Amino acid sequence: MTAASERATAILDEVERAVIGKRSALTLVLAAVLAKGHVLLEDLPGLGKTLAARSLATALGLEFARAQFTPDLLPADLTGSFVFDQRSGDFVFRKGPIFTELLLADEINRTPPKTQAALLEAMQERQVTVEGRTFSLGPTFHVLATANPVEYEGTYPLPEAQLDRFLARVSFGYPSAQDETDVVIARMRRGREEVDISTAVAAGELLELQTTVEQVTVDPGIARYAVALTTATRTHPDTLIGSSPRGSLALVLMARAMAVIDGRDYVIPEDVKAVAPSALAHRVTIRPELWMTQPSGLAVVEEVLGQVPTPPTVEPDSVRP
C-alpha cells in the first residue's frame, strides 16, 4: 500500500506543477480516476479545468483525445461513423475521438442534450454502439468533462441521467492571491505557455493502482454510514430529487481511493466525509421554488454531513473483509 501511495503522490506532484495551489481538488479528481470513474470539472472559464485534464492524462501515461463540444456537434462527430470506401466497395468504420483512454469532453454543456447523451453508453459500459455494431473502449477509458456553470450564457443543463454517470463533480474555484501570484511568476520563468509534464507512472500501472483500490477493506459500519448520508439527501426539505444508490457506491469507491492515496488499506469515516461533496452534490436536485435562494446540492450535502452520526474509526487489525 505504501508503494501505491507513493505513486499517487508522484502523480499529484506532477500535475500540480501545471495546476498550482489546487492539491485538494486534484486529489479528488485522482481518487475518482483510481476508482474507475468519470469526473465533471465544473467551474467558470479560465480556472484550469482543461489544463488539469490534459496534465493528468500525461502524468498517468494515458492516450489523450480532446473533443470540443459546440452547439453544432453531432453524436457521430464524437463516436465516429461508417463511411464508404471506394477502393474496397464497402462501408468502413471511422473512429471518433471517443476511442481513446482519457477523453477530455471540453465544455460539455455547450452542446445540445442529444450529443451529450452520446456519452452515456460509453461512460457506463465502456463501449459504443454505432448502426447496430458495438465497439469496445478498453478498461482504461475515462471521461474528464469540463463545464461552465448552468447560469453562464450559452449553456445547456446536463440531464440528470448523465450527471449520475459522473462519479464525482469537482470545482477548483478562484485561487488565493498567493497561488495566483505563483502562477504568474511560474509563467514568466518558463518563457512560454506550455508546462512540461512528465509521465509519473509506467504503462499498466494505472490498472495496478485501480486493482489496489479494489482490495481496500470497508467496514460494514462505514458502508451503513455512506448509505445513511445518501438517504438523508432524499428526505431533506430542500430536495426535489435526492441522490440515487449510485451516490452510496460513489462514496465508498472514492473513499477507498482516498485511503490508498493516504497509504491505508482500510477506509475511515474521514475518507467518506472528504469525498461526500464531490460524490453527492451533483446528484441532488433542489426544489424549483428555491432556485432563487441560497439552497444548493452542495449545501444539502454539507448539512446532512453535520446531521448523520459519524461511526467510530475501526482499527486495522479489527477490520472485517
CATH number at residue 54: 3.40.50.300
Statement to judge: residues 180 and 110 lie in one domain: yes
pLDDT confidence of residue 319:
45
Q: Is there a single domain that holds both residue 175 and residue 224?
A: no
Question: Cα torsion for 308, 314, 319, 321, to the nearest 10°?
Answer: 20
Is residue 207, in this structure, part of any structural domain at all? Answer: no
Q: Which of 197, 227, 244 is the last residue of a domain?
A: 197
How many domains does the structure of the chain reveal?
2
Residue where one domain finishes, among candidates 138, 163, 197: 197
Shared-domain flag, residues 221 and 186? no
Cβ atoms of residues 238 and 226 within 8 Å:
no
Q: How far apart, in whole angstroms, are the C-alpha atoms of residue 157 and residue 112?
A: 9
> Which pLDDT score is estimated for 292?
61
Q: Stretch 74-102: mean pLDDT, rounded? A: 88
> Which pLDDT belongs to residue 191?
83
* Residue 173 counted as domain residue: yes
Looking up residue 253, the CATH number of its domain turns out to be 1.10.8.80
Which of 163, 197, 231 is at the close of a domain?
197
- Asked if residues 59 and 197 have their Cβ atoms less than 8 Å apart, the reply is yes
Give percent above pLDDT 90 in the chain. Answer: 44
**Does 151 have pLDDT greater than 60?**
no
In a domain, 206, yes or no: no
Secondary structure (3-state) at 20:
coil
CA separation for the pair 213, 216 (Å, rounded): 5
Beta bridge partners of 104: 66, 144
Amino acid 272: pLDDT:
96
Residue 210 in any domain: the answer is no
In a domain, 205, yes or no: no
Inside any domain, residue 202: no
- Look-up: residue for cell 445518501? 230
Reduce the DSSP state of residue 12 to 3 states and report it: helix
Per-residue pLDDT reduced to its tens digit, 177-233: 998 999 899 888 888 878 888 889 887 889 999 999 999 999 999 999 999 999 999
Residues 125 and 239 in one domain: no
Q: Is the pLDDT of residue 139 over 50?
A: yes
- Is 73 in the same domain as 182? yes
Q: pLDDT at residue 120 above 80?
A: yes
Shared domain check, 105 and 19: yes
In angstroms, rounded to a whole number, what is the distance separating the alpha carbons of residues 33 and 47?
20
185 and 221, same domain (yes or no)? no
Does residue 152 sit in the same domain as residue 246? no
Q: Are residues 119 and 266 in the same domain?
A: no
Task: Looking at the structure, tell me whether residues 177 and 300 fall in a common domain.
Answer: no
Residues 186 and 236 in one domain: no
The reply to whether 106 and 225 lie within a common domain is no
pLDDT bucket at 321, cuts 50 / 70 / 90: very low
Percent of the chain whose predicted confidence (pLDDT) is above 70: 94
Tell me which of 13-17, 57-61, 107-111, 287-291 is least confident: 287-291
Of the candidates 256, 254, 276, the one whose C-alpha atom is nearest the C-alpha of residue 266 is 256
* Residues of the domain holding 65: 1-197
pLDDT in tens, 231-250: 999 998 888 888 989 999 99
pLDDT of residue 316: 64
Instruction: Measure CA 35 to chain center.
Output: 10
What pLDDT digit, counting tens, does each position of 281-308 carry?
Answer: 999 988 877 666 666 788 899 999 999 9
Q: Does some domain include residue 204?
A: no
Give the pLDDT confidence score for residue 208 in this predicted structure: 92
Give the mean pLDDT of 151-157: 63
The per-residue pLDDT for 290 is: 67
Per-residue confidence (pLDDT) for residue 315, from 0 to 100: 65
Query: Residue 158: what pLDDT?
Result: 78
Most confident of 98-102, 107-111, 127-131, 145-149: 98-102
